[in-house]
Amino acid sequence: MTADTPPFIIAIDGPAASGKGTLSRSLAAEFGLRHLDTGLTYRAVGRQLLQNGDPLDELQRAFAATPPGAVLDGRDIGTVVCPQANVKLFITASPHERAMRRFKEVQAHGTAITFEQMLEDINERDARDIGRADSPLHPASDAHLLDTSEMDIAAAFAEAVAIVKAAR
């Protein structure tokens, strides 16, 4: 990629535990792009930036605009942060499947929670994300929808790679 080549941006959105983080890290490695998990950004520095009046979306846009490009994952990347992204993926899975994934993850770390509590948490989080006034969770009109409910990681990755390659 030359200095005058615009960055290649992949925007990946979706609800919690849909697989977007795993896919975004893998796609960044596959295509030699940088990766930004915007959820971690928000949790780590979002409060401080907002208190200081710094727009966090602008930092994310600057990250994406730096060559050779980037893979960003979150809830509003394709709709708000990078609506000009070269590829937009909306990764989803059924609430039951996402709750099971997250349940296994937290169980492995020794957290005491029931599957029913995790499913309730996923459903509540979905309702908050979809219903919030600022940047609600929904796929961009030109996003590729990828339902990972019945896919393992390898199958989801292969499908995502095919979508990105077709766009390049």
Q: Give residue limits of the domains in the chain.
A: 8-161
Query: pLDDT at position 55, please?
Result: 59
Q: Cα(4)–Cα(31) distance, rounded to whole angstroms?
A: 19
22 vs 47, which has greater pLDDT?
22
Of 7, 82, 73, give the one whose Cα is nearest residue 42: 73
Residue 128 structure tokens: 């908050």
Least confident interval from 27-31, 49-53, 96-100:
49-53
pLDDT at 26 over 80: yes
pLDDT in the model for residue 148? 96
User: Of the ranges 71-75, 82-86, 106-110, which is most confident?
Assistant: 82-86
pLDDT at 49 over 70: no
Q: What is the mean pLDDT of residues 67-85?
A: 94
- Residue 63 and residue 45: Cα distance in Å, rounded? 15
**Angle, CA of 154, 156 and 160, to the nearest 5°:** 115
Q: Contact, 81 vs 37, CB < 8 A?
A: no
Q: Which residue has the tokens 């409060």?
A: 47
Q: Which CATH number fits domain 8-161: 1.10.3720.10, 2.10.240.10, 3.60.20.30, 3.40.50.300?
A: 3.40.50.300
Q: How confident is the model at residue 48 (pLDDT cuts 50, 70, 90)?
A: low
Q: Is the pLDDT of residue 84 over 80?
A: yes
Other Cβ atoms less than 10 A from the Cβ of 91: the count is: 25
Mean pLDDT to the nearest integer, 37-55: 63
Least confident of 24-28, 34-38, 99-103, 161-165: 34-38
Percent of the chain with pLDDT over 70: 89
Residue 109's CB is within 10 A of a number of other CB atoms, namely 6
CA distance 34 to 25: 9
Q: Which pLDDT value is given to residue 94? A: 98
